[in-house]
Chain A
Amino acid sequence: MARKLKKQRAERLDKDFRVPHTEIKMQLSVNKSEAPAYSATLVDLRRGDAAVLDRIDLPGDDARRLMELGFLPGATVVAGQSAPGGDPRVFRVDGSEIALRRETARKLKVRPTRAAAK
């Protein structure tokens, strides 16, 4: 009974707020046949490392905003400075510096490049 009430209350609150996002995932891949071969993500990059972005495992809206900021499949991403403790980290992509939390960076899969850019 109490649980039901709680649920009702939560639903009422949800009417006040837009639900942040749906659960539909958008997967973008430049080269589908190769994509599963790598499971490295932006989190695995250390400072100064560069990698080519492969796909974004995030709901459509979030992936779209990341792409608008330059995180497009095929773009080169360079890991930069981070906040103390390593999270969040600044990534250089497409001429800008964007800070991402670890939980987000983990969803951005990369193909490592041979040379680390400096």
Chain B
Amino acid sequence: MSECSDCRSCTTDPLGDTPAPGARPKAVALIGPPNSGKTTLFNRLTGLRQKVANFPGVTVEQHSGIAELPDGRTARIIDLPGVYSLSPRSEDERVAHDVLTGARPGTAKPEAILLVLDSTNLRRHLMLAAPILSLGVPTLVILNMADDLRSRGGHLDTSALASQLGAPVALISARQGEGMEQVWEFLAGAMPMPEPTELPVLHDVPKCRQWAGRVGGEAGYHPPAPPQWTRRLDAVFLHPIGGPLVFAAVVLLVFQTIFSYAKPLMDGVTWGFETSGNWFASQVPWPVLRSLVEVVWVKGAGSVIVFLPQVLLLYMFIGILEDSGYLARAALIADRTMARVGLQGKSFIPLLSAYACAVPAIMATRTIENKRDRFATILIAPFMTCSARLPVYLLIIAAFIPDRPLLGAFLSMQTAAMLGLYLLGFVAAVGTARILKSSILKSGHTPFLLEMPSYRWPTFRSIGLRLLDRGKVFLRRVGTVILVVTAILFVLTKLPLVHGEAPPIESSLAGTIGRTIEPVIRPLGFNWKIGIGLITSLASRETIISSLGSIYGMDQSNKAGLRQALRRDLTPGGALALLIFFAFAMQCVSTIAVVRRETGGWKWPALQFAYMSVLAYAGAFAAFHIVG
């Protein structure tokens, strides 16, 4: 199980739990156009922390949570993916549509609706009010981003709008918590049926827009001034030469930071871990238990935990990209490259989030309307360098690549090697897309439409909360999966007992398993110890570090540490082979499971696993034989 099995952003809604009748809380659905702030409001109402970011299509499935009303009762809030209308075109829109109309199996039709619209773009967003109000469900019309509206000089008369729509209207800022009392009031109140004065013909978009314009006009809506800062920033970020340069500079800075600035943090973590582990071990009376603590905790799990600062730095970078609104621009810049391989810019957003983890990335493909494009994106997403690969790369690069500057202080050889590996994953993804889109997943074009959000300043709070969540997930994984696998490995190295003593590691159960698969991996330059690491990495990629850490840690003749031990056991060609193997192989149970769920069968995940394994083996084989 990778980190994502417990990442709450992609768990499905546990709708099975129906409390006793009578006490059943009302189900209230949040609906609105993409990027109007539904999830921000959801988090505020329920106190949960679903993922929020500044680009359309962050939420791709329903989430539900309980909101405690001021009077002590509760309401069940259902967060839904954004929709432009009630005629769905993509998988995420279908989810929203089905839940609203009661067509989603296992989900009761909501009893009330919170319609969330962006108040800075009200005329267009009001179009969605027509189909929603005609559902005949009590509705509160929420005009979000009141702070933006005010600061850019827009205004409107909410009571006039309420009488036009025949439904209560609340002007709020979900981000700042402004105006929330109106939402609580609605949730706790009688929830009247909407009585709109007049509704347009729903299937006629121009009529709907005319209606929205007229209603907005009656309510004295004065649109805010265009976002000047967004225009200015776009003039830089989308500049034909400046844009790509800025992007390259930022990427270089991030990777260089991960290598050099994170060093002190890493050393601190290592020191703390070893000191505490050694102290703890000294308190344990039995030698067997002491060696278990030393090997499994200090040398095993400890060798993974030291990479926490780097992983968090990576998440911080991704968080800033997502929250600022730059991600949509990156998708725009990448569209040409994606077009060349037969995909579109929209596929680039899931691929970028795959740098964190492939599981939410595969879920995020639901925003791609064309099903064949979506499948192709699902199949290539695991090639992107996810954060679980990062510690493995860091360890092997630090052991084999000298830390010499390549371009002064900007780029060291280690950073360049890391960039090369990220590039390798990307090239493999794009190349595979090209093959898929010119063979089994060929399709006609679906127009590329992407709404550009205004830039927003990422808040310390939102980035901080994200890092806290990611840090917890990482530590939980080290404390569960990785620790358990390493402990099992420890036991396997001590069995079978010979005259009551542990056998030499080569003839232990673990050694036997390793030496059994050795003929298969020998052509890649790996010995049986690496082989054991590869087997354990099926549980989660970083487990290889803790397994190797504990295997080498048991060897009393080796005091020098994991890096030196690796240098002794691997040739440079073997190290490169190992890196390439990790770049291409699909060693992730969670990814396989999510691909099965999203493609509705075993056919695609099986094909994907086979393809990636063959590529990994062939790539590693070639690397070992060419470099030697």
Interface residues of A (CB under 8 A from B): 13, 16-18, 20-21, 28, 58, 61-62, 64-70, 72-74, 80-85, 87-88, 90, 92, 94-101, 103-104
| CB <8 Å contact, B444 and A20 | yes
**Given A13-B440, A81-B235, A72 and B452 contact (CB-CB distance below 8 Å):** no
**Given A17-B443, A62-B447, A83-B336, A98 and B452 contact (CB-CB distance below 8 Å):** yes
Give the contacting residue for B240; candidates A20, A69, A84, A95; CB below 8 A: A84
Closest-CB distance, A116 to chain B (whole angstroms): 16
**Given A17-B443, A20-B443, A72-B205, A100 and B448 contact (CB-CB distance below 8 Å):** yes
Tell me, in angstroms, the Cα distance from A11 to B244 when the chains sit together. 42
| CB <8 Å contact, A100 and B447 | yes
- Residues of A within 8 Å of B123, CB to CB, are 94-95
For the complex of A and B, 10 pairs with smallest distance between CB atoms? A67-B205, A81-B238, A97-B452, A104-B447, A68-B84, A95-B121, A17-B371, A84-B240, A99-B450, A101-B448
For residue B332, CB closer than 8 A to chain A, the reply is yes
Per-residue CB contact flags for chain B residues 422-453 toward chain A (1 = under 8 Å, else 0) read 00000000000000000010011111111110
Per-residue CB contact flags for chain B residues 117-128 toward chain A (1 = under 8 Å, else 0) read 000110110010
| CB <8 Å contact, A84 and B244 | yes
Closest-CB distance, A105 to chain B (whole angstroms): 9
For residue B513, CB closer than 8 A to chain A, the reply is no
- Residues of B within 8 Å of A66, CB to CB, are 447, 449
Tell me, in angstroms, the Cα distance from A58 to B372 when the chains sit together. 20
- Residues of A within 8 Å of B371, CB to CB, are 16-18, 20
Closest-CB distance, B55 to chain A (whole angstroms): 12
- How many cross-chain pairs have Cβ atoms below 8 Å apart between A and B? 121
| CB <8 Å contact, B234 and A80 | yes
For residue B458, CB closer than 8 A to chain A, the reply is no
Closest-CB distance, A64 to chain B (whole angstroms): 6
Tell me, in angstroms, the Cα distance from A84 to B238 when the chains sit together. 7
Query: Which residues of chain B from 84 to 126 have any CB-CB distance to chain A below 8 Å in the complex?
Result: 84-85, 87, 89, 120-121, 123-124
Name the residue on B nearest A104 (C-beta): B447
Tell me, in angstroms, the Cα distance from A90 to B443 when the chains sit together. 25
- Residues of B within 8 Å of A100, CB to CB, are 447-449
For residue B335, CB closer than 8 A to chain A, the reply is yes
| CB <8 Å contact, B84 and A69 | yes
Tell me, in angstroms, the Cα distance from A45 to B566 when the chains sit together. 60
Query: Which residues of chain B from 114 to 148 have any CB-CB distance to chain A below 8 Å in the complex?
Result: 120-121, 123-124, 127
Tell me, in angstroms, the Cα distance from A20 to B368 when the chains sit together. 12
| CB <8 Å contact, A28 and B444 | no
Tell me, in angstroms, the Cα distance from A55 to B85 when the chains sit together. 21
**Given A65-B84, A72-B205, A94-B124, A83 and B444 contact (CB-CB distance below 8 Å):** no
**Given A20-B370, A67-B206, A58 and B447 contact (CB-CB distance below 8 Å):** yes
**Given A67-B209, A80-B234, A90 and B336 contact (CB-CB distance below 8 Å):** no
Query: Which residues of chain B from 295 to 351 have any CB-CB distance to chain A below 8 Å in the complex?
Result: 328, 332-333, 335-336, 339, 344-345
- Residues of B within 8 Å of A85, CB to CB, are 240, 336
| CB <8 Å contact, A21 and B240 | no
| CB <8 Å contact, A17 and B372 | yes
- Residues of B within 8 Å of A73, CB to CB, are 206
Interface on chain A toward B: helix, strand, loop, or mixed SS? Answer: mixed
For residue B25, CB closer than 8 A to chain A, the reply is no
Tell me, in angstroms, the Cα distance from A66 to B235 when the chains sit together. 25
**Given A72-B206, A81-B238, A98 and B445 contact (CB-CB distance below 8 Å):** no
Give the contacting residue for A83; candidates B226, B230, B238; CB below 8 A: B238
| CB <8 Å contact, B124 and A98 | no
Tell me, in angstroms, the Cα distance from A61 to B241 when the chains sit together. 36
Q: Among B205, B243, B443, which residue has the most Cβ atoms of chain A within 10 A?
A: B205
| CB <8 Å contact, A98 and B451 | yes
**Given A65-B89, A69-B84, A83-B332, A99 and B452 contact (CB-CB distance below 8 Å):** yes
Tell me, in angstroms, the Cα distance from A100 to B264 when the chains sit together. 46
For residue B223, CB closer than 8 A to chain A, the reply is yes
Task: Jot down 7 A-B pairs with beta carbons below 8 A, ordered by A.
Answer: A20-B369, A69-B449, A70-B209, A88-B345, A88-B448, A95-B120, A99-B449
Tell me, in angstroms, the Cα distance from A64 to B84 when the chains sit together. 10
Tell me, in angstroms, the Cα distance from A80 to B227 when the chains sit together. 13
Tell me, in angstroms, the Cα distance from A25 to B339 when the chains sit together. 24
Give the contacting residue for B87; candidates A64, A72, A88; CB below 8 A: A64
Name the residue on A nearest B599 (C-beta): A16
Q: Among A64, A88, A90, which residue has the most Cβ atoms of chain B within 10 A?
A: A88
| CB <8 Å contact, B449 and A98 | yes
Closest-CB distance, A78 to chain B (whole angstroms): 10
Tell me, in angstroms, the Cα distance from A45 to B54 when the chains sit together. 29
Tell me, in angstroms, the Cα distance from A100 to B85 when the chains sit together. 19
Tell me, in angstroms, the Cα distance from A70 to B212 when the chains sit together. 12
Closest-CB distance, A77 to chain B (whole angstroms): 13
- Residues of B within 8 Å of A103, CB to CB, are 445, 447
- Residues of B within 8 Å of A16, CB to CB, are 371
Tell me, in angstroms, the Cα distance from A100 to B124 when the chains sit together. 18
- Residues of B within 8 Å of A17, CB to CB, are 371-372, 375, 443
- Residues of B within 8 Å of A64, CB to CB, are 85, 87, 205
Closest-CB distance, A87 to chain B (whole angstroms): 6
- Residues of A within 8 Å of B372, CB to CB, are 17
| CB <8 Å contact, A70 and B335 | no
Name the residue on B nearest A68 (C-beta): B84
Name the residue on A nearest B230 (C-beta): A97
Q: Among A13, A16, A70, A83, which residue has the most Cβ atoms of chain B within 10 A?
A: A83
| CB <8 Å contact, B89 and A61 | yes
- Residues of B within 8 Å of A92, CB to CB, are 226
- Residues of B within 8 Å of A84, CB to CB, are 238, 240-241, 243-244, 333, 336
Give the contacting residue for A99; candidates B243, B244, B448; CB below 8 A: B448
